[in-house]
A and B are shown apart, each in its own frame.
Chain A
Amino acid sequence: MSNAVIEIRNLSKIYRDFWGRKKVQAVKSLSLDVMKGEVFGLLGPNGSGKTTTMKMLLGLLFPTSGEMTILGKPASDVSKNERIGYLPEESYLYRFLNADETLDFYGRLFNMTAADRARRSDELIEMVGLGKARRRQLKEYSKGMTRRIGLAQALINDPDLVLLDEPTSGLDPIGTREMKDLIHQLKAQGKTVVMCSHQLADVQDVCDRIAVLFQGELKVLGRVDELLELRNEMQIRTTNLSEEAMADVRKVLEKHNVKDVEFSRPKADLEQLFLRTVRESGERPGRRFSTEEVAASGKGGNV
């Protein structure tokens, strides 16, 4: 027995119009497995069939041909949903409910007891940081807040398999960060996560394996570290390097016949900058930072 959570074999999907005429072939004989406990990323440009694949897995769409099982059950079997959490591309929720009611409602669809539901929604609302807004109707929510409550509802049943369709879209950097942490956390709990995203940096950070789709076809499939490793480049990082030391290093390298040596100050990427600013603003409210200060405190690289 394999420990594949999702098995897809030769899956195709053709969208047809009302008269049965072919409109688009969104997925072309796709085959892949997702193993238990891994974080799997589905990548690809817009319109490459990521969402379509996910919806077929969930039984929202019916495949044109091919087979798939999810948690060992056919996609059309509703009972598989007991152990699945799904965060749609956009959060499709009832806008007249507030956060508490939303979680309570979805909890009831899992036949959870009232006490369980209350405990679980407290946890989740805390986790997604909507404590202050929990009594407001969703129609008043901003995009990111909607996304957060969407995530919370996806986790209401403590699922074994989580399907996240562009989990970071609409989130602020803190949210993005937290999302990544959450995914790590889920992985640590032994859950399986399938996500699709355009944020390659995010994918790179969290995914064990990725698949790249292009126009419905599978182009690349493999482990992230293996795929991204640049085998013939090396990077040296240090602090307080003087002009003379730099010239010495250059000499040493030339002696070893290494050409194309480049010296530059590493830049903290924007994500790091933003995160730091927000964090430090929290510690020292009311202050504005100059560029030098940000750069100076940035020495040392990773946050």
Chain B
Amino acid sequence: MEFDIRPYNFASATLAWLILAGVLAALGLGLSLVLSVARNGKGGIAIFSSGLVGYLNDILSISPRRILALTQLTLKEAVRRKALLVFVLFAVLLMFAGWFIADANERPELQVSVHVTFLLTAISWLILPAVMFLSCWALPEDIRIRSLHTVVTKPARRLEIVIGRMAGLGVVTLFVLIVMGAIGLFWLTRRIPDSAKSALNCRVPVFGELYFISSEGQPQEVGLNVGDVWAYRSHILGNSRARAVWVFRGLDESCLTRNAKGEEELQLECRFEAFRTVKGSERSILQGISAQYTLASNPREEAFGMLAQSETVRPFADALRDGQYRNASDRLKQLTERMRTAPGELRPADYFGLHFGLLVSGSVLQYKKDPRLDDLAKLLMDASTAGQAVSEAQRTVENGGNAEIPYAAFADSLDLIAKALVEKSSDLMEALPRLEVPLASFHVAEYHDGDEDSTNLTRVPRKLKFVADYETLGRFLSVTVDDWNGSGRLLEGNAFKASLTDDLVKEAKISQLNAERLVEVLNEQLSGGSLVIDGGKLKVADNRSWFVFFDDLIRREALVSADTQGWMIERDLLNDVAKNGELRVEVACINDQMYLGMARPDLFIRKADQPFWAGYWKALINIALMLLLIIVLGVTVSCIVKGPVALFFTLTFFIVGQFFHDFMLRKLDGIEKGMGTVESAVLIAQHRNPEVGMDVSETAQNVVRAADKSLEGVLWVFSNIVPDFTIFNRAAAFVENRFDVPLGDVVLPAVVVFIGFLIPCILIAGALLKFRELESK
């Protein structure tokens, strides 16, 4: 079970439904016309059309009052026939539940999970048989003892009878479910020991997108595989450049929680798998493997990461990622040099990778809508087009065609980029700021006690204090000085304010020593003439930007931290790191030769927890929808067959929908391997394996394959007619694992599936009942 459900596409689901409903309706009508003609000869068409008109008339003349009467009749029947005895069973079950659920020594989360699972399972499996039985038996029984005769000789439409039945059973079910749900919640709060009560809540996760950066710096969709072919997780190698990168979008204040002191925090919860290749000592094994988060805002990775796909181009890409634009320009020139002199040395994949990487870079920069970036973006796009021409020409040649490969044009367009990179390097540096905040490392336990639910919760304070790297420091100082200069907090007359050091400590939150060092350096620069005071404001003498000024100082090591901790600065998680609500979390494995395994749902931002009932009622809704769907199916089937047969059909629907729906879909998608049914049978009979194939003539093979194709068609129809009952279990799984249930992505699909079946079922059931003789035995 995964809890990072992909967003539900309501529109496409509705469209698929409309198509299917249309096809089925056409089929159904066609079939009944054929049947009618077969039975009644020529008159059949008239009978069919008058029947159809009559039915449409019935649909239009539906009366809510009659439906209500029929609904209440069903209600009374259920009550008087003692269907509510199911409560007694439930109560008994809860009373003795203690005998077979977990003891109090387990971890609190586990205890809660076990109890919730027990409760939800008990509720659904107690009501399920009752509902199935009632819905399949009620109508046939009514027909058998002919009480329905008296009803249909009143103006009640048979469609109304069907709806009334469904509604009545539905109300009973809902009532039972609500009461059981309430009792269950009460039972939970009493049964779960106080020590575990804190875990009786719903976590609200925000999932991100995951990709990997290999040890070589190449962005990849999946990481390493450590040997298990079916592994769900990918791995990153320890003590290397390899990273797993989660990108979270749409972050805002609502994602933060407050700690006991009332400070805002971001909770990162993870569940990684540790995999070691060397044994290590017992202690190190128990400690597990160390992992480290780096929170980042990294537009350069975003823009230039894709260029690192090909090894040949990677040095260029790495220079760009590091913000060394002059260096990048040199690397690019080397490339174009090779392209001009020996274009064959670069593989077609290099050209293609370059073309594609340029396209991504250009698009990302364009998307930023920053005037400082527009020129470069355009050059990148142009070069990408030129690169595409190269790739296409190469393909033509490879396929034996004749084409001039425009290497020179590509190289020319790349040279333009190289030139622009040098000219614009300081603009780029300012427009694409990288901010990286490394967090303290933590241990990933290697051996989980029994379950894989061993989680790590990291609380990241909103006010991040961290040691700044060169780039971040340069940016921090330039922004601070520029800002203070603008608001006149820097100078007093023709000198720096006497209180500047103290102010910096207090307001910019840097250490005393570093503040002194900064003021000292600024004074040096002022007296050395690099800084001037003009009109009461401080200025860089040669009109360079503040960032370039400080960057230069830092690189000349003029601003080395004065205290041993390094340049500690404070930044805001939301405003500075997660700009535009986008946060990158890079995960590294620290230990040499060890691996960390992870998959997309393994790391999430945990919002403030919701109370338990917030998820619980949604799980109950899904259970309710499942039961209602069973009622609808049961009543529909029971319109045409007797009770036991109806029960058999409904049960089959349920079992297939619950356990084999996924299989059917995978089979149809070709994910589930294997030959068709008929072919497999032939193979088995001939004792041959699938690689060798059948020992029959060509024609026979075609016949067999055609038979399998049509069976597949049957399977397709089946997979669409049988509801996917697993949809209804999802919400419970969320709550059982202490997650909140996403309304739109888990409850809505269940509602949609239910309604998608409800409407056609009512119409079909109404028609089945209308066009059958109640008397025939």
Measured CB to CB, the residues of A under 8 A from B are 15-16, 55, 58-62, 74, 76-79, 81-82, 84, 86, 88, 90-97, 101, 105-106, 108-111, 137, 153, 157
Contacts and interface: CB of A to CB of B under 8 A. Distances in A.
Contacts of B50: 74, 76
A110 B155 contact: yes
B56 interface: no
B773 A61 contact: yes
A37 to B, nearest CB: 22
Given A60-B773, A101-B76, A111 B153 contact: no
Interface stretch (B111-119, B141-149, B211-219, B255-263): B141-149
Given A55-B775, A62-B773, A111-B65, A84 B153 contact: yes
12 contacts: A58-B153, A61-B776, A78-B156, A88-B149, A94-B73, A96-B77, A105-B72, A109-B66, A109-B155, A110-B154, A111-B155, A137-B80
- Nearest 10 pairs of A and B residues by beta carbon: A108-B69, A92-B146, A109-B154, A96-B80, A86-B153, A81-B155, A109-B156, A92-B147, A58-B153, A92-B149
B84 to A, nearest CB: 14
Given A76-B54, A96-B80, A81 B150 contact: no
Residue from A58, A96, A101 with most neighbouring chain B CB atoms (10 Å) = A96
Given A88-B146, A110-B155, A111-B66, A61 B775 contact: yes
Contacts of A15: 776
B775 A60 contact: yes
B63 interface: yes
Nearest to A74: B50
A61 B697 CA distance: 55
Contacts of B65: 108, 111
Residue from A55, A78, A105 with most neighbouring chain B CB atoms (10 Å) = A78
A93 B147 contact: yes
Contacts of A95: 147
Residue from A58, A76, A84, A91 with most neighbouring chain B CB atoms (10 Å) = A76
B184 to A, nearest CB: 30
Interface residues of B, number: 34
A238 B77 CA distance: 61
Given A78-B58, A111-B63, A111-B65, A106 B154 contact: yes
Given A96-B77, A109-B69, A77 B149 contact: no
Contacts of A79: 61, 155
Residue from B51, B148, B155, B773 with most neighbouring chain A CB atoms (10 Å) = B155
A205 B773 CA distance: 35
A105 B76 CA distance: 11
A78 B147 contact: no
A78 B775 contact: no
A47 to B, nearest CB: 15
B283 interface: no
B776 A82 contact: no
Given A77-B54, A109-B69, A111-B66, A60 B77 contact: no
B149 A105 contact: no
A229 to B, nearest CB: 37
Contacts of A153: 150
Interface in B139-178: 145-157
Contacts of A108: 65-66, 68-69
A265 to B, nearest CB: 48
The interface residues of chain B, by DSSP majority, are classed as: helix
Given A61-B773, A62-B773, A105-B69, A86 B150 contact: yes
A60 B149 contact: yes
B81 A96 contact: yes
Given A61-B774, A92-B146, 7 more contacts: A15-B776, A55-B775, A74-B50, A76-B54, A78-B156, A81-B153, A108-B68
Contacts of B776: 15-16, 61
Contacts of A59: 152-153
A78 B151 CA distance: 11
A98 B757 CA distance: 36
B54 A109 contact: no
A84 B152 CA distance: 12
Nearest to A112: B65
A81 B146 contact: no
A95 B145 CA distance: 10
Nearest to A109: B154
B150 A82 contact: no
B702 to A, nearest CB: 36
Given A93-B150, A109-B69, A78 B80 contact: no
Contacts of B66: 108-109, 111
Contacts of A90: 146
Contacts of B76: 96-97, 101
Contacts of A92: 145-150
Interface string B638-682: 000000000000000000000000000000000000000000000
B599 to A, nearest CB: 55
B671 to A, nearest CB: 42
Contacts of B146: 88, 90, 92
B155 A78 contact: yes
A97 B61 CA distance: 27
Nearest to B54: A76
Nearest to A62: B773
A147 to B, nearest CB: 13
Interface string B762-777: 0000000000011110
Contacts of A106: 150, 154
B333 to A, nearest CB: 88
Nearest to A85: B153
B157 A78 contact: yes
Contacts of A105: 69, 72-73
Nearest to B154: A109
A2 B540 CA distance: 113
Given A93-B147, A93-B150, A105-B73, A82 B775 contact: no
Contacts of A157: 154
Contacts of B80: 96, 137
A77 B770 CA distance: 11
Interface in B72-110: 72-73, 76-77, 80-81
Interface string B31-43: 0000000000000
A94 B154 contact: no
Contacts of A101: 76
A58 B155 CA distance: 11
Contacts of B152: 59-60, 78
A180 B474 CA distance: 110
A55 B81 CA distance: 30
A88 B150 contact: yes
Contacts of A81: 153-155
Given A94-B73, A96-B81, A101-B76, A109 B151 contact: yes
Contacts of B70: 109
Contacts of B151: 109
A89 to B, nearest CB: 9
Contacts of B154: 81, 106, 109-110, 157
A236 B68 CA distance: 63
B157 to A, nearest CB: 6
A291 B716 CA distance: 84
A94 B63 contact: no
B149 to A, nearest CB: 5
Interface in B587-625: none
Contacts of B773: 60-62
Contacts of B68: 108
Nearest to A51: B775
A82 B153 contact: no
B378 to A, nearest CB: 73
A19 to B, nearest CB: 12
Contacts of B149: 60, 88, 92
Nearest to B70: A109
B148 to A, nearest CB: 8
A79 B157 CA distance: 9
Nearest to A82: B155
